[in-house]
Structure 1
Amino acid sequence: MPSWFDLATDKKQRQQNVIPKEWLITPPPASTLNVIGIPETCGLLTPQELVITNEDVDGLLKKLASGEWTAVAVTTAFYKRAIIAQQLVNCLTEIFVERALARAAELDEAFKRTGKVVGPLHGLPISLKDQLCIKGLETTMGYVSWIGKYAEKNAVLVDILEECGAVPFVRTNVPQTLMWPETSNNIFGRTTNPHNRSLTSGGSSGGEGALVALRGSPMGVGSDIGGSVRIPSACCGVYGLRPSYGRVPYGGALNSLEGQDSILSVFGPITGSISGLKAFMEAVIKAKPWLKDPLAVRKKWDEDEYQLKDRDNGRKLCFAIMWDDGVCVPHPPITRALKRVQATLTNAGHNVITWYPIEHKRLGDLTRYIWEAGASEDFMVTASETGEPIISTMVPDSNEATVAPFRPKKGGLTAYQLWQFQKEKTDLRALYLQHWNSTVASTGTGRPVDAIICPAAPYPATPHGHFRYTNYTTVWNALDYTASIFPVTTVDPAIDVKQPRENFIDAFDKQVHEMYQPEVFRNAPVCLQVVGRTLDEEGVIAMTEIVDAALKTTNKRL
């Protein structure tokens, strides 16, 4: 058998060989950090393709449904833009142009024959994280050991998306093992942030975040076990949704930590337009995934919940701002974004109060203990087939010995010890429910808090290798709360100056504070989370739309 390096080199070369040569551009020099505008100016896309790729999801679906645009034209436009994105930030894994265009042509033929769309996502190109198996294609998930293993059937979600009329057209890059808030592996290398290529795209759905940010895909599917939809969405300045366990089917997909079912990974949309969140979730849920995946939750799409019928129809909501998690205080641009949202929602007539987090550090610790029970062995067993080394740092060209705190430590737990941690997590979920319900006394609406608004991380996208704290997203996985990401602003060194602090929570809080240098984070997107309770997808989407619309009514910076 060839060495793992030879296998990886061959796989990468095969990827390059399928890119149409006429879609290659002259990439900018490495010193060009902000590449977000290059698809518009590189000359590859026609004026019509620029119009198509800049349209939001609702607009695309309407024009496809009316016959104004064909599925082939839309797929071609996004494919070309995705290939541009690949040349700029290295975000793709599987590229299957002919297959996707053939699928689009079938949809056009069906529309021409019947005058009707095939489904609610008719003709919409959708990118997929490199976990979602597609029949006849390799799914490496960043492991050299899985090169050459071709899927015998689609993942359940892929089948559903195709039934809904979507066109899967690329798969996107992930970190080896998936369990990183950054994206790099030994096959395809590192995905960078299109707003500033010296910064991370996030992870583990970093390829999706970067691709969608460059509008190389109108909608992608990521997965999230500790923030892996929300962190790349926040790093790259796009929208993302982490549904509760089982709302979106996972059957037939590859994963890390399979068999661990205390804190589950979930699939969710990453999209450049707010309308994409609802379009994806409504289409998938109305396809009744519980009939195809035994772990999918039997909960129909609830239009009353989306209309916020039990929340004054969304006219007067109460949002709670979580300024920090009690572990570390966010960087200045994050706090500025929180203040802006607070003022915007107050001006829009909603109540805004403070959220006081409880047990966030312990919830994060319990999550890591549960994952670490078998993660180290899981990674080792998978990689051992080829002898591929397990990546221990995301710092470029580094011999750094310091292992990020979220990486598993060798040595597992006894079954009894694991059960105790899982029991404590359950107890804390009950405590958090009680804490949320108790807010009814201070909301002014007669209801508990409708949603929490909080950071997605203590910092925007960091330099490569330095995204080392994920609790701002991970606690909501432990609680199984629905959470979305929405963009607010970008880092402006002239405004987001470093603020001196005299008091710190502890040494870690001080370390997070000291890593902030405004110029280092220049142009990094600043996004926040809307957090609802378990299985509150419809409500969270609606409330995210309300927050997003309110923000778009003002350009005032606070």
Structure 2
Amino acid sequence: MAAPGNSAPWQALVKEKQERQKATIPPKWLIELPDTRTLDVTSIPETCGLLSARELEITRSNVEVLLPRLASGSWSAVEVTTAFYKRAIIAHQLTNCLTEIFVDKALARAAALDEHLKTTGKVVGPLHGLPVSLKDQINIEGIEASMGYVSWLGKYATKNSVLVDVLLELGAVPFVKTNIPQTLMWPETFNHIFGRTSNPHNRSLTSGGSSGGEGALIALRGSPLGVGSDIGGSVRIPSAFCGVYGLRPSYNRIPYGGCVNSMEGQDSVLSVLGPISNSVVGLKAFTQSVIEAQPWLKDPLALRKRWSPEEYDLIEHNNGKNLCFAILWNDRLTVPHPPIIRGLETTKKALIAAGHTVIDWVPHKHGEIYETLRAVWAAGAAEDYAVTTSPTGEPVISTMSPDPDVAGTEASFRPGKAGISAYQLWQTQKRKRELREEYLAHWQQTAGTTGTGRPVDAIISPAAAYAAPPHGKNKNADYTMIWNLLDYTTMVIPISKVDPTFDVKKPAHEFLSDRDQINYDLYDPVVFANAPISIQVVGRTLEEEAVLALGKIVDDAVKALSTKATGKM
């Protein structure tokens, strides 16, 4: 193709890439598409006729079912990869969730795994034969990682990212890459090359971002396990909006080396890689397997912290018995919409029914934490974006709205152009450290109110002030951003869906801030109908094992309550 930076207009480069992507889709996997007025497309993969009964059984299965069947050989890696590939292509046609499609490469990998199992009787690793989808920024040798930048088209990775090398050692089958917003720094998913990814539960709503392609793909069961990245909520927002499970680990627990990224060199609040799946077990399988592969031997920034069975058994949390959870009902700046409050209330009821204690979480300086994080990002972000887009002259996207008349008339999610001095950045980073110290002390002090003698075991928080909003309306990532600055391990768990019958709009309250009123005015239960309702389980720094275990306790409690319920949750 024409190299970026030549005289070809950026639009021509986009057209050429779109044609190349289209050519990678096997024609026999194309389906008859539903009318654009069909908003909920989650049933289409089951009814379109492309998947056989066996393929439907395979793709309905979660990681905990797939791995033992792959290990025993009752399902081959080739047939599992083919089934998920076909379903991924269906998902792509419905939501536009993929960027890179490499069927032959993935099937060759799966065939080699099948041959290994046949000849040795042993699996390659704990993820043997499992198809894994990857956010576009994660490098696979020989495949582009444009990350939504026209200027990066034609740049083929010369080697794998560290995580891909680890996944290959574990026996996984990387098989697709997924859509992102230009720059990654946006909680929705749209770029000039691949376009917009929509929410499969309601295509008039956003899938979230920046790992929005992963969220939509996994919600449609086009992948059993995916990997996204998260610097302000980019794993958790798509997980919450698309009704799947996601984990945001602490800095450097999962190797990040070899990925492309925005704002490289900004090392104060780090982006992290984290799994997205249709079960808590899927998150655990990824996290435990990757950590047990000792990634610190391949990535110098990866923490040398081994997987701890004792921490997963919750030895610091009374072995998982008689726990105390604290609910963050609001951050004193924005009151969540009625469906989100219902999700928190459901979780509280479920945990109490399971024998645990639930108290209220008192937020501590959340507004200052948000602004400190934004200041870190804004220090050089505008220049970073301008430098990256300059070779082709592509415009930096300033709005996610699909309405062309809105562009330039609404507040942008982008940082301003004015940077700050190195000294000023140091002061911001110093304040970040102080806020982390304060929040740790604030958490520790809860030991006097839990009744267990321990501080709160975990916080239950909204993942956002709303369920998935209409395209262009996701402008408040505060409820996820806070845990990035504090570096708390956090998991998203789906709870229910928006039902206009239950989730009616409430009378206006005394607004906490301007953003609170904006959020209140945004809510219309009919507009948000069928959007997933999710919550976050928040642990402390480097508590991956404990958060996975605590998240399973929460998930099991909510499912048990749902089973007992006679009506809708």
TM range (shorter): over 0.9
Residue of structure 1 aligned with 2:338, choices 322, 332, 338: 332
Residue of structure 1 aligned with 2:206, choices 200, 217, 239: 200
The answer (yes or no) to whether the contact 1:404–1:468 under 8 Å persists in 2 is no
Deviation, structure 1 residue 428: 0.5
1:281-313 deviation digits (Å, cap 9, x = unpaired):
000000001111011011000001001122121
Are residues 1:188 and 2:197 paired? Answer: no
For 1:137 and 1:469, how far apart are their aligned partners in 2? 33
For 1:404 and 1:523, how far apart are their aligned partners in 2? 28
Name 2:453's counterpart in structure 1: 446
1:94-173 equivalence runs, <5 A: 94-173=100-179
Name 2:55's counterpart in structure 1: 49
For 1:280 and 1:66, how far apart are their aligned partners in 2? 19
For 2:297 and 2:410, how far apart are their aligned partners in 1? 43
CA 1:395–1:74: 2 relative to 1, 3 Å? same
Quick one: which amino acid aligns to residue 530 of structure 2?
Answer: N
Name 1:247's counterpart in structure 2: 253
Deviation, structure 1 residue 163: 0.4
The answer (yes or no) to whether the contact 2:399–2:413 under 8 Å persists in 1 is no
Quick one: which amino acid aligns to residue 450 of structure 2?
Answer: T
Name 1:496's counterpart in structure 2: 503
Residue of structure 2 aligned with 1:84, choices 77, 80, 90: 90
Name 2:491's counterpart in structure 1: 484
Quick one: which amino acid aligns to residue 381 of structure 1?
Answer: V
For 1:38 and 1:160, how far apart are their aligned partners in 2? 34
Residue of structure 1 aligned with 2:514, choices 482, 488, 507: 507
| SS of corresponding position for 2:561 | coil
Name 1:175's counterpart in structure 2: 181
Are residues 1:542 and 2:549 paired? Answer: yes
User: Which segments of structure 1 move beyond 6 Å, counting only runs of 4 or more?
Assistant: none
Residue segments in structure 1 that go unaligned for 5+ positions in a row: none
Quick one: which amino acid aligns to residue 350 of structure 2?
Answer: T
1:434-478 deviation digits (Å, cap 9, x = unpaired):
000000011111110000001000000000000000010000000
For 1:154 and 1:281, how far apart are their aligned partners in 2? 19
Name 1:209's counterpart in structure 2: 215
| SS of corresponding position for 1:366 | helix
| SS of corresponding position for 2:82 | helix
Deviation, structure 1 residue 326: 1.0
The answer (yes or no) to whether the contact 1:200–1:464 under 8 Å persists in 2 is yes
1:353-364 equivalence runs, <5 A: 353-364=359-370
Are residues 1:64 and 2:70 paired? Answer: yes
Are residues 1:257 and 2:258 paired? Answer: no
1:307-456 equivalence runs, <5 A: 307-400=313-406, 401-404=408-411, 406-456=413-463
The answer (yes or no) to whether the contact 1:368–1:406 under 8 Å persists in 2 is no
For 2:166 and 2:69, how far apart are their aligned partners in 1? 22
For 1:425 and 1:502, how far apart are their aligned partners in 2? 32
The answer (yes or no) to whether the contact 1:246–1:297 under 8 Å persists in 2 is yes
CA 1:174–1:299: 2 relative to 1, 3 Å? same
Quick one: which amino acid aligns to residue 231 of structure 1?
Answer: I
Quick one: which amino acid aligns to residue 418 of structure 2?
Answer: G
The answer (yes or no) to whether the contact 1:392–1:403 under 8 Å persists in 2 is no
For 1:13 and 1:237, how far apart are their aligned partners in 2? 32
CA 1:404–1:128: 2 relative to 1, 3 Å? farther
The answer (yes or no) to whether the contact 2:398–2:413 under 8 Å persists in 1 is no
The answer (yes or no) to whether the contact 1:127–1:168 under 8 Å persists in 2 is yes
Deviation, structure 1 residue 316: 1.3
| SS of corresponding position for 1:487 | strand
For 2:524 and 2:516, how far apart are their aligned partners in 1? 15
Residue of structure 2 aligned with 1:522, choices 505, 529, 539: 529
CA 1:415–1:56: 2 relative to 1, 3 Å? same
Quick one: which amino acid aligns to residue 201 of structure 2?
Answer: H
The answer (yes or no) to whether the contact 2:134–2:178 under 8 Å persists in 1 is yes
| SS of corresponding position for 2:485 | helix
For 2:377 and 2:39, how far apart are their aligned partners in 1? 35
The answer (yes or no) to whether the contact 2:230–2:273 under 8 Å persists in 1 is yes
The answer (yes or no) to whether the contact 2:458–2:539 under 8 Å persists in 1 is yes
Deviation, structure 1 residue 137: 0.7
Name 1:25's counterpart in structure 2: 31
For 1:307 and 1:285, how far apart are their aligned partners in 2? 17
For 2:157 and 2:213, how far apart are their aligned partners in 1? 21
1:238-277 deviation digits (Å, cap 9, x = unpaired):
0000000000000000000100000000000011122111
The answer (yes or no) to whether the contact 1:220–1:271 under 8 Å persists in 2 is yes
1:475-526 deviation digits (Å, cap 9, x = unpaired):
0000000000000000000000000023111222111111100000000000
For 2:52 and 2:189, how far apart are their aligned partners in 1? 31
Query: Considering only aligned residues, what root-mean-square deviation do their CA atoms show, in Å?
Result: 0.8
1:282-297 equivalence runs, <5 A: 282-297=288-303
For 1:403 and 1:298, how far apart are their aligned partners in 2? 45
For 1:304 and 1:444, how far apart are their aligned partners in 2? 24
For 1:32 and 1:252, how far apart are their aligned partners in 2? 40
Are residues 1:551 and 2:553 paired? Answer: no
Residue of structure 2 aligned with 1:461, choices 450, 464, 468: 468
Deviation, structure 1 residue 112: 0.3
Are residues 1:276 and 2:305 paired? Answer: no
For 2:431 and 2:125, how far apart are their aligned partners in 1? 44
Deviation, structure 1 residue 402: 4.1
Length-normalised TM-score, structure 1: 0.99
| SS of corresponding position for 1:553 | helix
| SS of corresponding position for 2:453 | coil
| SS of corresponding position for 2:372 | helix
Quick one: which amino acid aligns to residue 296 of structure 2?
Answer: W
Length-normalised TM-score, structure 2: 0.97
The answer (yes or no) to whether the contact 2:399–2:412 under 8 Å persists in 1 is no
Name 2:241's counterpart in structure 1: 235
Quick one: which amino acid aligns to residue 39 of structure 2?
Answer: L
For 1:186 and 1:230, how far apart are their aligned partners in 2? 24
For 1:404 and 1:481, how far apart are their aligned partners in 2? 29
| SS of corresponding position for 1:342 | helix
Quick one: which amino acid aligns to residue 504 of structure 1?
Answer: F
Quick one: which amino acid aligns to residue 418 of structure 1?
Answer: L
For 1:375 and 1:291, how far apart are their aligned partners in 2? 31
For 1:165 and 1:173, how far apart are their aligned partners in 2? 24
The answer (yes or no) to whether the contact 1:138–1:148 under 8 Å persists in 2 is yes
For 2:412 and 2:543, how far apart are their aligned partners in 1? 31
The answer (yes or no) to whether the contact 2:97–2:213 under 8 Å persists in 1 is yes
Quick one: which amino acid aligns to residue 49 of structure 1?
Answer: E
Deviation, structure 1 residue 404: 4.3
